[in-house]
Structure 1
Amino acid sequence: MSQHDRDAFFIDGGWSAPASSALLEVVSPHTEEVVATVPEGTTADVDAAVAAARRAFDSGPWPRLSPAERIDVVQAFSGLYAARLGEMADLITLEMGSPTSFANLAQSPAPWMQIESFLAIAREFAWEEERAGALGSPVVVCREPVGVVAAIPPWNVPQFTIMSKLVPALLAGCTVVVKPAPETPLDGYLLAELLSEAGVPDGVVNIVAAGREVGEHLVAHPGVDKVAFTGSTAAGRRIAAVCGEQLKRVSLELGGKSAAIVLDDADLATTMGGLRFTALMNSGQACVAQTRILASRARYAEVVDALVETVRSMPVGDPADPATEIGPLVAQRQQERVEKYIALGQEEGARVAVGGNGMPDGLDRGWYVRPTVFADVDNRMRIAQEEIFGPVLSVIAYDDVDDAVRIANDSDYGLAGTVWTSDREAGLDVARRVRAGTYGVNTYTMDFAAPFGGYKASGVGREFGPEGLAQYIELKSIYTEG
């Protein structure tokens, strides 16, 4: 028995026995040992969760509270969450192998920052306004909750991606069914405890961890009004098709293959310091990771050498060690997937400048891969076009700035990117020309006051900022006599 074992789901404000005896084993990516077991959700469990959320929306108090009253409850939740940041980070390191240095930066503090940002936005949000109608009579425009929301996060940043959906949905007056990924169910239990302690009414949030087939049942459920999903583009296409058939509201935050453009006037020490994080955050398991590094032919060898030295200097190993920068991948299947891409890159003619297949030095277990930099990469290669989701970088040569922008845009994706230069205005010019939803000049971050999302196959809709709150709103116009 593990201290993290669980035997119930959080449904209708309490702990509900599962409909079956099926279990999910939570396996440490570092030790390959089972660290916890929890129930595996079935369609019957999802049906119970949706029914609870439906009752809470149709006849419960939550949608009928004033925005200020909902803000007070979410503010209480924020305070409770802030007190447990370290515990939440440790859970995520345990269940999916995120290096503790990253976990204590992004896996729990960043979700808490989202809560605070959405609270500030909600306080200023125009929940109802009166406009001067074009026909002479005033019009009242109401912003009302969309209904029951299915929130489906991935395993790589589970709390981060739950919070971007859960908090705006709650502030809007929605009720929610959260389906954590089967690899990362543990953090959802702590989340449930905090929501309950904060006074969120019964049925407003329900949490059932389950696999893909049960997730599809949730997406297609007639009791769900909106689906909010973060994950692969392939899964996003399927979800969009189901929602389109039902005319169900949907927002999708999907994959990326982002480019970091290194201009000739860039300071390489500064650039490498930035790429150390933006290209390899969370061991490369990040949708916004800038895994295509674009360097001019004039400085190509210099950039490759600097990148190789940067990658070599990044400690690989136990994710619980604060010194570790690159940990294991989430599962054996992911390790095998990344190793296949490393082999494919060599078959395509790219040169391994550092790394390659095989376990990193000093490690004989765990789902690790050697951080790898490919040189002599053509942007048409699969390693430059497909999302690998591991610590694998491709350095691509460009002729001039126009060519760099063309290469950056030559992708099915459009999620993120950076440009590195000593000329801010030149950087802003490049940023405006690259078709990506988020972009950085000599930095990359996510500001929770600004919209986040992607162009093209990187998704539909936006998270964060007022735009993220608006994803959980239906607009109603009420016409009155003058």
Structure 2
Amino acid sequence: MPDVVCISPIDSSEVARHPSASAAAIDAALQAARRAQKQWAQVPLAERMAKMTAFVDAMLAMNQEVVPEIARQMGRPVKWGGEFRPFEERARHMIAIAPDALKPHVPKPIEGFTRFIDKTPAGVVLVIAPWNYPYLTAVNSVVPALVAGNAVILKHAAQTILVGERFEKAMRAADLPAGLFANLVLTHDDTARILSSGAVDHANFTGSVAGGQAIERAAAGTFTTLGLELGGKDPAYVRADANLKHAVDNLVDGAFFNSGQCCCGIERIYVDESLYDAFVSGFVELTSAYKLGNPLDETTTLGPMATPRGAEVVRRQIRDAVAKGARSHIDPKLFPADDGRGTYIMPQVLTNVDHTMELMTVENFGPVVGIMKVSGDDEAIRLMNDSAYGLTAAIWTSDEKAALSIGRQVETGTVFMNRCDYLDPALAWTGVKDTGRGVSLSEIGYDMLTRAKSYHLRTLS
């Protein structure tokens, strides 16, 4: 069995090395999950909710250990304090809404008949989690899947392999039935074999478009349902009536938090021509204030990217854009930690960009953003829709009616007004086009993790 290894982006040291699960261990975990799920589905919902609440409490107790551990694995600065505040928000919300989300649907009564639609567990759910927000992306599916009566197999990314162990430890603390939750160290080939075998009933994957296509190919013919959150190139539009300072402050953070490695991070910005010069000036000034360095240093505000390969994608897009006439605004002298080769990469702001450049059309998942001047709503809508992706779109305006009108014309899963880069657990998290399919979070998220079962009962007089 090949080892799965996590190499730290801080200094290229080895953080963790684990052998991948053997075929026998994988089969045993799947069989145990199937047995445990049948019993778990009979456990009252209130008890399942209590177990998941205990899991959340156990996870939160690890926060002090987890924050530097994440920094070592994928580079996020300890200054930002980890993921457990939104982790708790999402988990507790999904637990709290479960009674309403999972209750039977009862149509209009007909005399002599009892009719209702029950929501039954999907069965065994495979969660394939990414490294960029390793706790948040996993909890979106893990907690509601278990609350709904499913068993869960978690396959975490190699870059954040220790996160799966944290989930496992917290599940043990919550005293879940044996076999109901399993954290498996899997290779890509192992994952494909599980999917192609039909051994799981639903799989949720967060990652690249290519990864999602591989998941679909592996599951083809099994009728396993899939939830896929894939690539993004999320746009922002700053209208002429926007609060300029608020837009600058929020969009700098939306573009560069987590070194730009955010599923719904801002990668392209369209600014009304009346605000363009002032917006670019403020954006460059604020971006220049970041401190790039070791994420274990409390003064660091921008850590390294998770992998050298990811950093090279960003550098290549910047080189390509500049060669085609783009102007870079951030002075490299402000960021000596960026040597032009490794994972430490400075933030960059480019103007004089257009959609002939990959920078404005292909996901880069890093600390660079292009800013374009637009003449108004029509041009902004056209450019926002000129993308293969559709996860979120953010509109900065003082006119909510205009935001709604624009939002209805933009091809996206979520429309923001005067904010960005946030998941509200009460709303459906979904995408269109190459960003994928399916829903997590909200009451609708439970529909992905259950199956409709209709009851049509006739009483004979």
| TM-score bracket, shorter-length normalisation | over 0.9
Residue 31 of structure 2 is matched in structure 1 by 51
Residue 429 of structure 2 is matched in structure 1 by 452
Superposition pairs of residues 238-317 of structure 1, within 5 angstroms = 238-317=214-293
Distance across 2 between alignment mates of 1:290 and 1:173: 36
Which of 420, 427, 451 does residue 474 from structure 1 map onto?
Answer: 451
Comparing 196-205 with 47-56, greater Cα deviation is found at 47-56
Distance across 1 between alignment mates of 2:433 and 2:338: 39
Residue 153 of structure 2 is matched in structure 1 by 177
Distance across 2 between alignment mates of 1:459 and 1:133: 38
- Return the offset for 1:454: 0.9
Unaligned runs of 5+ in 2: none
Q: Is the 8 A contact 1:258 1:288 kept in 2?
A: yes
Residue 336 of structure 2 is matched in structure 1 by 361
- Return the offset for 1:213: 2.3
- Return the offset for 1:470: 1.6
TM-score, normalising length: structure 1: 0.89
Q: Is the 8 A contact 1:263 1:295 kept in 2?
A: yes
Q: Which amino acid aligns with 1:326?
A: L
Q: Is the 8 A contact 2:59 2:166 kept in 1?
A: no
Q: Are residue 435 (structure 1) and residue 415 (structure 2) matched?
A: no
SS state at 1:393 partner = strand
SS state at 1:413 partner = coil
- Return the offset for 1:402: 1.0
CA change 1:305–1:457 in 2 (3 A) is same
Distance across 2 between alignment mates of 1:33 and 1:420: 42
CA change 1:129–1:428 in 2 (3 A) is closer
Q: Which amino acid aligns with 1:455?
A: V
Unaligned runs of 5+ in 1: 1-19
Superposition pairs of residues 10-21 of structure 1, within 5 angstroms = 20=1
1:312-367 CA-partner distances (Å, limit 9, x unpaired) = 112211112333222101112212222222222223332222267x9931456951
Comparing 398-407 with 338-347, greater Cα deviation is found at 338-347
TM-score, normalising length: structure 2: 0.93
Distance across 1 between alignment mates of 2:334 and 2:75: 16
Distance across 2 between alignment mates of 1:347 and 1:44: 53
1:142-190 CA-partner distances (Å, limit 9, x unpaired) = 1110011110011111111110110111011111111101111112112
Comparing 403-412 with 80-89, greater Cα deviation is found at 80-89
Identity of aligned residues (%): 32
Comparing 208-217 with 192-201, greater Cα deviation is found at 208-217
Distance across 1 between alignment mates of 2:436 and 2:380: 23
Comparing 252-261 with 70-79, greater Cα deviation is found at 70-79
- Return the offset for 1:111: 1.6
RMSD of aligned residue pairs (Cα, Å): 2.1
Distance across 2 between alignment mates of 1:389 and 1:44: 37
Superposition pairs of residues 401-440 of structure 1, within 5 angstroms = 401-440=377-416
Q: Is the 8 A contact 2:4 2:187 kept in 1?
A: no
Q: Is the 8 A contact 2:198 2:224 kept in 1?
A: no
Residue 6 of structure 1 is matched in structure 2 by none
Distance across 2 between alignment mates of 1:133 and 1:474: 23
Q: Is the 8 A contact 2:115 2:456 kept in 1?
A: yes
Q: Is the 8 A contact 2:5 2:17 kept in 1?
A: yes
